[in-house]
Chain A
């Protein structure tokens, strides 16, 4: 197994959460109760702890709010190393903590690209020393993310890489992709792939009526589906474990569903943006809505939401991608893709719950136990002996997003001034409180 450099566990401290609504998708638990944290682990939980705080413990009265496993975000871009002016591991981890995210997987699209053992080690040491939350490294699967030569998957995994990705680009060379999947299988390594044929995706937004009106070049969703279909064929041939990073349209969903019906080791994710926004939000060339894959039509968004409700989509990611003025304050076609999302992830996901489209359990499942299982983590659940990565939130509290208050070093949120309902009250990582809502906006 991989040797992940972990934060030392906090020994000796005991905290008890009383008067909570315990929600744990892994065990289908949704009941009033309490939870005891000791030495960084969940020591006990259940209805018997609802009102009874054991002696000598710090008591947190949850006031009936929801206590769930901390969120796990499988796709987070940072700027470290190389673009620290956009985001560091430290600032990303503060944003995560404020968003109730206790584990982030950082992407290899840095400078230099995380394609060597020493760089995986660098990320993990920097994270151990500076980050508030658990940080796992997604290593590059091809050298320099060029899609040509595969990286040292075996050694990288031993160094602690949790999965492998080609970052924001697809591996175009089919032979390389076949070899990657085949080789990764021997090491039981997960290949996470961004599916977008570059020859079909030079446009700056989803192709269709809106793009035509705005005079922007469009990218058809077929670019995504074609690459995904190819990949599924290669998975069928090689048996490699494959995760489609972020799908965005009904056609892609059909491909994934068909693969799952064949019992292929295929899973998929969707970004929170594609669950809650559509191409109309771009409006007058708002570049903070320029993401990859591009925002699609409302019917595609609805298909994604439906699939999340059905369990056809495995995980939700924030796809947190910090960009600053030099990359975003540009004409739409020239602006960079990407939106920050760690701090708004839960609130945005709760929109789907409040609208009645997705149950609370289904939403949380795709942000806790599903990503944990995908990555082979032991977190993402409320269970005795599990690590005390916890999220306490009030699903009803209204608030308005103010980009200037974001902890992320970059402010490119598509939700600026958006009305949200649902607030993170407290975030705990390995038994240590890393975020606590003060009740007023910080200034």
Chain B
């Protein structure tokens, strides 16, 4: 039997998997954000956990270690009464396409309802989704996509600003290696925001202007009059590979401090997907500023993941009555 909310989800979010933000419509995104908004309010009101996913099995399959994303999905699943299983696959033992598929086939044989996957290789989650019968949620694949991060960012902005359309959002830092940036570019563009990409040329992918944002290599100029400043994490190994000379120089020219932030609108939001490198891409005084919504992002993370799980669950086959 299909419930009313199920048919609503079937119509408004007609997808079995959430693999990428590319191609998501404003309607689909807003549908998820509306659901997440309700979930967030429900949690804030100290509401009881719901039974949307009661009897369903959710596997967290993380080929790349993660604390916060995995915990967030686990929390989201449990708040919807799913049975959650965490599988941390050591990257060393499973790192070839063939074994990834073998893993997928093995897991599929256990008949889970949903799998949340993070993998270090771009496209790996989509590959896995082709080999299983359940719903697959991309929790990050290489430098490709991290859809729930972009959705939680959009929700955070929408709640703080009342809208996303028409806002100017600057995404700053290691765009070349960032799945968060790519997903955000898709979502923000779909919702009608103006996107700016700020990074040194060495941390921009080729043809950056074709990604859907205006490109700046000067952060002072790039932040001029923006409504939202979205910082990205800079991995230490980027220094060793000579993408940037040092964390000191990076902070000087591309780290968000009060001086650069002063170029943005006075009420600009400061965001960061975490974990932060204080003193590398963001100054502590900014991270802990009243304009910072970094903690809200974490909170919205659980709500958005609940919304995604709920929307996808509408596509699961309904239960047979117990014999």
* Partner-B contacts on A (CB < 8 A): 143, 148-155, 175-176, 179-180, 182-183, 185-186, 238
Binary contact readout B215-233 vs A (1 if CB under 8 angstroms, 0 otherwise):
0011000000000000000
Of the candidates B202, B217, B245, B253, the one having the most CB atoms from chain A within 10 angstroms of its own CB is B245
B200 in contact (CB, < 8 A) = yes
Among the stretches B9-17, B155-163, B236-244, the one at the interface with A is: B236-244
- Is the CB–CB distance between B202 and A179 below 8 Å? yes
Of B201, B202, B217, B242, which contacts A149 at CB under 8 A?
Answer: B242
Do B253 and A176 touch across chains, with their CB atoms under 8 A apart?
no
Is B246 part of the contact surface with A, judged by Cβ < 8 Å? yes
**With a CB–CB cut-off of 8 A, which chain A residues contact B240?**
149
B235–chain A nearest beta-carbon distance, Å: 15
Cross-chain contact B246 with A152 (CB below 8 angstroms):
yes
Q: How far is the CB of A250 from chain B (nearest CB, A)?
A: 33
Chain A residues within an 8 Å CB radius of B49: none
SS of A interface (majority) = helix
Q: In the complex, are the beta carbons of B249 and A175 less than 8 A apart?
A: no
Contact of B242 with A150 in the complex, beta carbons under 8 Å: yes
Please determine whether A186 and B242 come into contact, CB atoms closer than 8 angstroms: no
**B202 touches which of A151, A155, A183 (Cβ 8 Å):** A183
Contact A186 B245 (CB under 8 A): no
Interface size class of B (residues with CB under 8 A): 10 to 19
> B244 near A183 (CB under 8 angstroms)?
yes
Q: Is B96 an interface residue (CB 8 A)?
A: no
A120 shortest CB reach to chain B, Å = 14
Output the nearest chain A residue to B216 by Cβ-Cβ distance.
A186
Chain A minimum-CB-distance residue to B249: A152
Contacts of B239 in A (CB 8 A): 149
Contact A151 B245 (CB under 8 A): yes
Smallest Cβ distance from B143 to chain A, in angstroms?
Answer: 17
Q: How long is the Cα–Cα vector from A180 to B244 in the complex, in angstroms? A: 9
Identify 17 residue pairs between A and B in the complex whose beta-carbon atoms are under 8 Å apart, listed by A's number.
A148-B242, A149-B239, A150-B242, A150-B244, A151-B245, A152-B245, A154-B249, A154-B252, A155-B248, A176-B242, A179-B242, A182-B201, A183-B201, A183-B245, A186-B200, A186-B217, A238-B201
In angstroms, Cα B245 to Cα A151, docked, is 5
In the complex, chain B residues whose CB is within 8 Å of the CB of A152: 245-246, 248-249
- Residues on B with beta carbons closer than 8 Å to the beta carbon of A154: 249, 252-253
- Chain A residues with Cβ below 8 Å from B201 are 182-183, 185-186, 238
What's the least CB distance linking A154 to chain B, in Å?
Answer: 5
Q: Report how many A-B pairs have Cβ atoms within 8 Å.
A: 43
Further 8 A-B residue pairs, CB within 8 A, beyond A150-B242, A152-B248, A182-B201? A149-B239, A149-B240, A154-B253, A155-B248, A176-B242, A179-B202, A183-B202, A186-B218
B202 & A182 in contact (Cβ 8 Å cutoff): yes
Please name all residues of chain A whose beta carbon is closer than 8 Å to the beta carbon of B202 when the two chains form the complex.
179, 182-183
State whether A149 touches B245 (Cβ < 8 A). yes
Contacts of A153 on B, CB cut-off 8 Å? Answer: 245, 249
Closest A-chain residue to B199, C-beta based?
Answer: A186
Contacts of B242 in A (CB 8 A): 148-150, 175-176, 179-180
CA distance A182 to B245 in the complex (A): 12
Closest CB of chain B to A357's CB: distance in Å? Answer: 42
Q: List residues of chain A with CB within 8 A of the CB of B200.
A: 182-183, 186
Q: What separation, in Å, do the CA atoms of A179 and B252 have in the docked complex? A: 19
Q: Which residues of chain B come closer than 8 Å to A186, judged between CB atoms?
A: 200-201, 217-218
Which residue from chain A places its CB closest to the CB of B218 in the assembled complex? A186
User: What chain A residues lie within 8 Å of B244 (beta carbons)?
Assistant: 150, 183
A-B pairs, 8 with minimum CB distance:
A152-B249, A186-B217, A182-B201, A152-B245, A183-B202, A150-B245, A179-B202, A179-B242
- The residues of B that contact A182 with a CB separation of less than 8 Å are 200-202
Question: From B243, which residue of chain A is reached at the shortest CB distance?
Answer: A179
Smallest Cβ distance from B239 to chain A, in angstroms?
A: 8
CB under 8 Å from chain A, chain B span 112-162: none
Distance (whole angstroms) from the CB of B2 to the closest CB of chain A = 54
**How far apart are the CA atoms of A135 and B245 in the complex, in Å?**
26
- The 8 Å CB contact of A155, one of B217, B218, B243, B249, is B249
Question: Which residue, A155, A186, A238, has most C-beta atoms of chain B within 10 A?
Answer: A186
The CA of A150 and the CA of B203, in the complex, are separated in Å by 14
- Find the A residue at minimum CB distance from B239: A149
Chain A residue numbers with a CB within 8 Å of B245 are 143, 149-153, 183
Measured CA separation A363–B218 after assembly (Å): 39
Residue of B nearest to A147 (CB): B242
Which residues from chain B contact A151 at a C-beta distance below 8 Å? 245
Q: A148's closest neighbor in chain B, by CB? A: B242
Alpha-carbon separation in the docked complex, A302 to B32 (Å): 73
Closest to B217 in A: A186
CA distance A154 to B246 in the complex (A): 11
Give chain A nearest CB distance to B209 CB in angstroms: 13
* Complex: A182 Cα to B217 Cα, angstroms: 11
Closest Cβ of chain B: how far from A177's Cβ, in Å? Answer: 10
B240's nearest neighbour on chain A, judged by CB, is: A149
Residues of B within 8 A of A148 (CB): 242
| Cβ-closest chain A residue relative to B244 | A183
Q: Which residues of B contact A238 (CB under 8 A)?
A: 201
Q: Within the complex, what minimum Cβ distance (angstroms) separates A398 from chain B? A: 51
* Alpha-carbon distance A38/B252, docked complex (angstroms): 40
A143 to B202, CA, bound (A): 17
